[in-house]
Amino acid sequence: MPTISRLCLLFSLLLAAPAGASTPELLAKGEYLARAGDCIVCHTGPGEKPFSGGLKMATPLGAIITTNITPDKATGIGDYTFPDFERAMREGIARDGHRLYPAMPYPSYSHVSEDDLRALYAFFMEQVNPVNRPNSPNPIKWPLNIRWPIAIWDGVFTDRVGFQPDSSQSAAWNRGAYLVQGLGHCGACHTPRGIFFEEKGLDQRKNTYLAGASLDDWFASSLRGDKASGLSSWSEADIAQFLKTGHNGHASAFGTMIDAVNNSTQYFSDDDLTAIATYLKSLPGNESPQALAAASPNARGGRLYLQQCADCHQADGAGHAPYIAPLAGNPALSDADPASLINITLNGSSRIVVDGMPDAYRMPEFRVLLKDDQIADIATFLRQSWGAKGAPVTPDQVAKIRKSSDPASDAVVVLRMR
């Protein structure tokens, strides 16, 4: 090739690839990982543009408002270099040095590899639309708004070593462990928290990891092999189907799990779903029998169930799987904390949207139709039926959630990343 045309070729290559531009493969990988991390669900407030922040999150310290992570230079993360981004993701430190509250799941994201963080960074910088939206001042009041104590918290409760592969396990197990502990941040909802809001375990070395947890008036059930309240009777294929479609023969997604299915888990590849299922199925249950009060069948609850619920869920609790959730064998009936059972009965479920198609069926709300003691009776009946092993529910437990929760929205919400 004559030198001159080589120079032209070189020149046109340079023009086609301006400094910093990434390959389509890297950008596609970054988009996939942004789905896996479900960044959009927290970083998009109601009615706001994707990733521009503004969602109010309840925490034990008070409400925290999520920030703008679009590449806007004035109000977003446009000025973040890769090391700045990596430090925010892994250590929870913003570019200007302030400590982030752990409502941002950096204790989980600290497990993400550098390669994956580079792909995420490229996606955010090059494919997310910059949005000029100044961050709202945080409503947390002095002295809890002083952020330096978080440094001590970080030192005690996060593990800085990153993801620890286990060479005695299969490649699928390790991939699943990496996704569940890292970007998937499943433990942020499913692992019980201690008095300092720390997750009690960040990987399988602790038997409290993914053992089920109460958050925002829901109970994210155990993802371990517990009988009745966990995944012991689910096959790997059942777990993958649930994450891909929001339904399977055992249960449907509801509560905050709908956000995870709608914006994140349905986008995992089949291989990654199988890997996640392989990992979860390796976690043994903690058969800690609940303090069961003498399980006398709750006759009034049984009658109310037949009147109000059996049209859809059937008298024998079989439902019409996968679309109308079976209640027989459903982990939600045996959860240590009945919050999910109470909440969905009071408020119904919001829409599962998979492949852009909203679900045909929703669980209706019974907030107006049924009183606290009636819901408590139905819940108690369900928690002692078809092999379920849950402690009875009191009207006070219902009253508390009635006060702090709202009816589920019927809106079909699809958040587009770009």
Is residue 378 near ligand HEC by the rule CB under 6 A? Answer: yes
Residues 306-345 that bind ligand HEC (CB under 6 A): 308-309, 311-313, 324-325, 327, 330-332, 340-341, 344-345
The C-alpha atoms of residue 239 and residue 213 are separated, in whole angstroms, by 19
Give the residue with the Cβ less far from ligand HEC, 37 or 107.
Answer: 37
285, 358, 364, 395: residue in contact with ligand HEC (rule CB under 6 A) = 364
The C-alpha atoms of residue 196 and residue 244 are separated, in whole angstroms, by 34
Is residue 88 near ligand HEC by the rule CB under 6 A? Answer: yes
30, 31, 39, 181: residue in contact with ligand HEC (rule CB under 6 A) = 39
Site string (64-83) toward ligand HEC, x via CB under 6 A: x-xx-x-------x------
The C-alpha atoms of residue 177 and residue 340 are separated, in whole angstroms, by 26
The C-alpha atoms of residue 89 and residue 159 are separated, in whole angstroms, by 13
Q: What phi-psi label fits residue 97: left (phi over 0), alpha (psi between -120 and 50 degrees) or beta?
A: left
Write the CA distances from 214 to 119, 188, 201, 210, 337, integer angstroms: 33, 11, 15, 12, 7
The answer for residues whose C-beta is within 8 angstroms of residue 97's C-beta and 6 or more apart is none
Is residue 366 near ligand HEC by the rule CB under 6 A? Answer: yes
| Closest CB 276 distance from ligand HEC, rounded Å | 5
| Closest CB 257 distance from ligand HEC, rounded Å | 3
- Residue 391 amino acid letter: A
Residues 123-162 that bind ligand HEC (CB under 6 A): none
**Distance in Å from the first CA to the final CA of the chain:** 41
Q: Give the burial class of 376: count Cβ atoms within 10 A of its Cβ; 0-12 exposed, 13-18 middle, 19 or more buried.
A: buried
User: Interface residues with ligand HEC (CB under 6 A)?
Assistant: 34, 37-39, 42-43, 57, 64, 66-67, 69, 77, 88, 94, 100-101, 103-105, 120, 180, 183-186, 188-190, 218, 220-221, 223, 239, 242-243, 251-257, 259-260, 265, 276, 308-309, 311-313, 324-325, 327, 330-332, 340-341, 344-345, 349, 352, 359, 361-364, 366, 378
